[in-house]
Structure 1
Amino acid sequence: MNLSFRDIEYFLTMAELGHMGRAAAAHGVTQSALSKSLSRLEKETGLTLFERSSRRIWLNASGRAFVDHARLLYAQYQDALQNTSALQTGAAGMLRIGATAITLDNIVAPALRWLMPKRPALKVSLTTGLSDALFEQVKHGDLDLVIAPIYGDSIADLDHKVLTQDTMKIVVSKHHPVFDTPTLHIAKLQAYGWIVPLVGSSARQALLQWLTEQGLNEPRVALEVPLVSRGILEIVASTDFISFAPESLLQRDMSPGVVALPIVLPQRRKLCLLSRKGAHWTPLMEGFRVAVDHAI
């Protein structure tokens, strides 16, 4: 099979946008050129990849199966280009880093403060977002490295190095009604509203797993948040809401009106440096890994 990386790039854009005209405009080519590219790709693979209507296109079953392979091929191609550039320019080049709101200030910024004076030609593209979205970007080759929390043993298709880890705590106001009785029963927590991570996030899944293991139903959600911050802890302090936070955050930003319940959660939050599984580490990536070690 003799696949063109340009044809793969066009295919991935068509799959993302679902429209020939918009995909052609994104690449500055004609729809005719895009159609010929798709024909070449379908001929090489022996597959019909899209269903078509007069207004849009969408991946069929074969296209959905092929798109993950195409993303991996394209990511490996981008790795090769970046590595070649790094070899040609030495310390120069572009490093694409992803960070969450927490890791940006606590790890990434200190690491860059240490690294960039030592690599004056280094350019950094910094993306912030939720950890699960960042994981997808590094899987697809849009980011080189991500520093973010994980709550399980690993993330599929990613390699990781654990930087720090801590336990998770259930937190409430120190005046919460759960303290009105001498014995704390976990089942009583379901009577109150919860401040929880966003739907689909790793942190939310970890919380639901723990509740399931306790034989409890999903919590009554009062507020969904991308992360628990000092401001969120202050809401907990002034309400009967219950939340879920890492112990390190409580040690640093614990509101005076918040206490952690004496409940042991098996899930641990691990702050990790993540890369695509099997990705070639360029000198810039290696340099950033050293900088992170200095920052923590």
Structure 2
Amino acid sequence: MGVRLDDIDYFLAVAAHGKIRAAAAALNVSQPAITQGLQRLEKEIGFPLFERSSRGMQLTAVATQFRERTQALRASLGDAIKEAADMHLGALGLLRVGVSPLYAQRLFVPATVALHRQRPAARVRLMLNLNDALIAALRLGDIDLSVNALPGAIPPDLQALPLMDDALCLVVREHHPLLSKRRLRLADLVDAQWILPGPAVAARRSVEGRLAEGGLPPPRVLVEVSNTAGGLLNALMVQSDLVSIMSEAQLATAHGAGLAPLAMADARFTRTIGALTRKGVALPPLAQRFLELLQETARAEPGSTGRGAKRPGRG
């Protein structure tokens, strides 16, 4: 019968998300379709792919290497299909880009406006999401590049182009009881309730790591959000005693109205914002030009890295 392409997609999605339900939601298919696809694939290749437990789906040892090879092959096939489709349609180009909501206005919008002026026939497909979803989409070949906070260690299958530095800070509503403490310490947050992104998002891991370094338990997350850039976060914060994390640049906008940063060194996290691409995959000319425009946009921003980083997609 042979291996079905959609079964490979199901396998890669479950490997990325760790759960069948999350993979089904990401692919917009039913959970039984995912389960049946995994069963077909395991029967076809002759070995189990996952160890199933209450914590989710963990790759078997042999499936880890299988994932690396099939992920690269699937991405290459997606590129080939896209290239052929563009040639068939006579399209001048399609830019597929993923962007963190925090940097859509600051980086994506100015670079896209400049691109439209230079290439008015070019089309843009935008994915607006948090880091974990963007990196998963990039690995699957669904986007050409992502613009987001760079992970502390760049995964070996990806490469990064640093653009600028930004800082996150812990925030609360104005007149929050924590703000009245004369010498605020990390230990004062032990009883706090939090509003944070999901556990796979880098900002959430930064908070958890900082608390762990102080010998404190993980944050008690009362509200888990998939987008920390919208007005909903502000509305929840100003009407409660929840603690959250926010970009310093975002705090200075309307989304930060009524909020204040916690005044202690341990409540601030410096990070680098950049563009991620797949290593060894040549970028389409349109995506390459967009990267150059992102660099120009970032140089005009406070906190620009000014680094002469190697351009992605050139080997």
Is the shorter-chain TM-score for this pair beyond 0.5, marking a shared fold? yes
How many Å separate the matches in 2 of 1:7 and 1:104?
A: 39
Q: Which one is further off, 197-206 or 62-71?
A: 62-71
What residue identity is the alignment partner of 1:243? Answer: S
2:272 alignment counterpart: 270
SS at the partner of 1:267?
A: strand
Q: Give me the whole-angstrom Cα distance separating, in 2, the residues matched to 1:200 and 1:81.
A: 31
Give the SS at the match of 2:252: helix
User: Unpaired runs of 5+ in structure 1?
Assistant: 1-5, 19-25, 27-33, 52-57
Q: CA deviation at 1:138?
A: 0.7
Name 1:12's counterpart in structure 2.
Answer: 8
**Letter of the structure 2 residue corresponding to residue 9 of structure 1:** L
Q: In structure 2, what is the equivalent of residue 290 of structure 1?
A: 292
Aligned partners of 1:8 and 1:70 also within 8 Å: no
Superposed, 1:57-96 pairs within 5 Å as 61=60, 62=62, 65-79=65-79, 92-96=92-96
Task: Decide whether the 8 Å contact of 1:91 with 1:283 is kept in 2.
Answer: no
Question: Deviations for 1:209-255, whole angstroms, at most 9, x for unmatched residues?
Answer: 11101111112222222233454234333322212212111123464
Distance 2:133 2:89 in 1: 31
1:48 aligns with 2:49: no
Aligned-pair Cα RMSD in Å: 3.6
CA contact (8 A) 1:12 1:67 kept: no
Task: Give the residue type in structure 2 aligned to 1:143.
Answer: I
In structure 1, what is the Cα distance between the partners aligned to 2:193 and 2:86?
52
Report SS of the residue matched to 2:69. helix
Structure 2: stretches of 5+ with no match in the other structure: 15-19, 21-28, 30-36, 50-56, 299-315
Identify the residue that residue 158 of structure 1 maps to in structure 2. Answer: 158
Alignment correspondent of 2:307: none
1:151/1:267 contact within 8 Å kept: no
SS at match of 1:191: coil
Post-superposition offset of 1:83: 6.2
TM-score where L is the length of structure 1: 0.74
User: Which whole-Å CA distance do the structure 1 matches of 2:152 and 2:242 have between them?
Assistant: 26
Q: Which amino acid counterpart does residue 142 of structure 1 have in structure 2?
A: D
Q: Secondary structure at the match of 2:167?
A: strand
Alpha-carbon distance, 1:183 to partner? 2.3
- Residue 186 of structure 2 is matched in structure 1 by 186
Q: Partner residue of 1:195?
A: 195
**Count of aligned positions:** 264
Asked whether the equivalents of residues 195 and 225 of structure 1 are also in contact (C-alpha less than 8 Å), the reply is yes
Residue 269 of structure 1 deviates from its aligned partner by 3.1
Measured in 1, the distance between the counterparts of 2:59 and 2:211 equals 38
Separation in 2, partners of 1:194, 1:248 = 21
Deviation at 1:284, TM superposition (A): 1.4
In the aligned structure 2, how far is the partner of 1:117 from the partner of 1:254?
30
Matches within 5 A, 1:128-167: 128-167=128-167
1:166-245 equivalences under 5 Å are 166-229=166-229, 230-245=231-246
Superposed displacement of residue 161, structure 1: 1.1
Cα distance between partner residues in 2 of 1:149 and 1:70: 27
CA deviations over 1:128-174 (Å, ceiling 9, x no partner): 22221110111121211111223524345211112222222121233
Larger radius of gyration: 1
Q: Does the aligned pair in 1 maintain the 2:251–2:257 contact within 8 Å?
A: no
TM-score normalised by length of structure 2: 0.70
| Residues 186 and 13 of structure 1: CA distance in aligned 2, closer, same or farther (over 3 Å) | closer
Cα gap change, 1:84 to 1:248, in 2 (>3 Å): same
**Mapped partners of 1:107, 1:87: distance in 2:** 30
Change (3 A) 1:65 1:154: closer
User: In the alignment, which residue of structure 1 is the partner of 2:248?
Assistant: 247
Q: Secondary structure at the match of 2:265?
A: coil
Within the alignment, does 1:126 sit opposite 2:126 as a pair? yes
C-alpha distance in structure 1 between counterparts of 2:114 and 2:123, whole Å: 14
Deviations 1:250-270 (A, max 9, x none): 123464532212222463233
Q: Offset of 1:71 from its aligned partner?
A: 1.6
Question: What is the identity percentage for the equivalent residue pairs of Structure 1 and Structure 2?
Answer: 27
